[in-house]
Each structure stands twice: as C-alpha cells, then as structure tokens.
Amino acid sequence: MTDKPIALVSGAAQGIGLACAEALAEDGFRVILADIKDSVVEAAEKLGGAGYVCDFGDTNAILKLFDKIEAEHGTVSALVNNAGIAMPGDFLSYDLDAFDTVIGINLRGVFVATQRAAKAMVDKGIEGAIVNMSSINAQVAIPAIPAYCASKGGVMQLTKVAALALAKNNIRVNAVGPGSIDTEMMAGVNANPEAFKMAMSRTPLGRAGTAREIGDVVAFLCSKRSSYVTGETIYVDGGRLGLNYVMS
C-alpha cells in the first residue's frame, strides 16, 4: 500500500500512455501501468510504479486487474483509459470481427474500466478523476478506419454520460482528443514525406504533437487544477479542428 494517490493508465507500455504515466508520476501519483504488451512491467519499474499485463478487450481481465491493484496497492483515484487500436480497412468490405474487436477495446473496455473504477471511488469516498482518450476522429472522420471513428465518437458521449452520473460524487470525467501525434501509430506517415506534408497541411501549428503534450493535458485533468472541469473533451490537435481549408 502507498500514501500516494494511485493512477492507473491503460495502454501504457509506450507512446501516449507512457507519456501520461510519466506526467502523472511527476505530479506525485503512484502510477500503475497496464498494457497487453509485457514490456509494460519494465516501463512501470522505471517510473517507480507497477506494471500489469491486461487485455482491455476482455471484461473479466479488466475486473481482475482492479481487484489485484486494490489488493496490492489500494484504490485507484485517477484512471486514464488510453488503450486502443485502429484496424484500418475498406468500408465496403470491412470485417465485422475487426469492428467488434475495435469497439470492444476502444469503447466497451473504457466503459467497463470507468464503471469499475467509479464504484470503488464511491465506496471509498474518493473524489477522483477519469480521463478517456478520444480523438479528433470523434468529430471528423477517415473512411479507412470506420470502427475507430465510431468508437471515439462513442467515447466522447460516454465521457459526458459518466460525468453527469458521477458529478454528485465529485468524480470528474473528461476526455482528451489528440490530433496528429508523433507516436508509433503515425510512423508510416512520418516515413512518407508526401503523406507527412499532407498531414501538416491541415495542422495550423505546422508540426506533429508529442506524446508528452498529450500527457501534460491528461495530468492537468487528473489534478485539482481542473477541479471545475467535467464532461469535456479537450482537443490537443495543433488547431486542426478549427481549420476549414488545407494550407499550402
């Protein structure tokens, strides 16, 4: 057990999830990292936290993870639902199993973890914070990732629902919607000069964001500095959603 408040970050072995964990650790949280990749254990150790392998598309695995964390560390007071996948494909031939897999991790998994974390917070009287990882694709769309876009739109609405349901318990629920962020998911774009130029042509700040820039916003939403913010999705996108033309 620890005297520090506990933050659980899913999908935290690398990229945005790991950056969120780093920012939360610097803010004084005892960080618990979870990911389907076993490299999460080593990543957590470097932050002085604990790492667990968990498939966030598996409801029972999520529930067991919370049981284990509570038995070994205590109750989670900040939850970051970051685990997610895209699985691109052609719209007309998109595989239904792939669709269900994406929704299962990106949306159902977020609901399961949020509900389980909130129950424990209410039971312990913890005025906690939950941050869900949405995307600009909750507002705009790419035809090659139909399930991903649908899931992120769902995350935006689920965030509002949970915020309203939990407000009476002073548990705040918000979301962050990244734009083009320099992570493994964007590696293919980065490696193609034309594709990168096109991506930046719709980003007013003219560059990709960093994972840490997302992590810092997540840490803000988990802190008392955002104590009057709930039910919101903050888009960290370099101005992209406000742009209605392509820049040269």
Q: Is residue 153 part of a domain?
A: yes
CA dist., res. 105 & res. 84, Å (int): 6
Q: What is the mean pLDDT of residues 68-89?
A: 98
One-letter amino acid identity for 165?
A
- % of the chain with per-residue pLDDT over 90: 89
Q: What total of structural domains would you count in the chain? A: 1
Q: Is residue 247 part of a domain?
A: no
pLDDT value at 109 more than 90: yes
Q: Is residue 1 part of a domain?
A: no
Q: Is residue 248 part of a domain?
A: no
**94-96-98 Cα angle (round to 5):** 80
pTM: 0.95
Residue 75: give the domain boundaries.
6-242
Q: Which of 9-23, 175-189, 193-207 has the highest mean pLDDT?
A: 9-23
Q: Is residue 216 part of a domain?
A: yes
pLDDT at res. 199: 81
Per-residue pLDDT tens digits for 209-221: 999 999 999 999 9
Q: Is residue 57 part of a domain?
A: yes
Unique residue bearing structure tokens 């990732």: 145
Q: Is residue 163 part of a domain?
A: yes
pLDDT value at 192 more than 90: no
Please give the positions annotated as active site. 148
Using pLDDT thresholds of 50, 70 and 90, give the confidence band for residue 185.
Answer: low
CA dist., res. 31 & res. 10, Å (int): 11
The domain that holds 106 is classified in CATH as 3.40.50.720
pLDDT at res. 186: 64
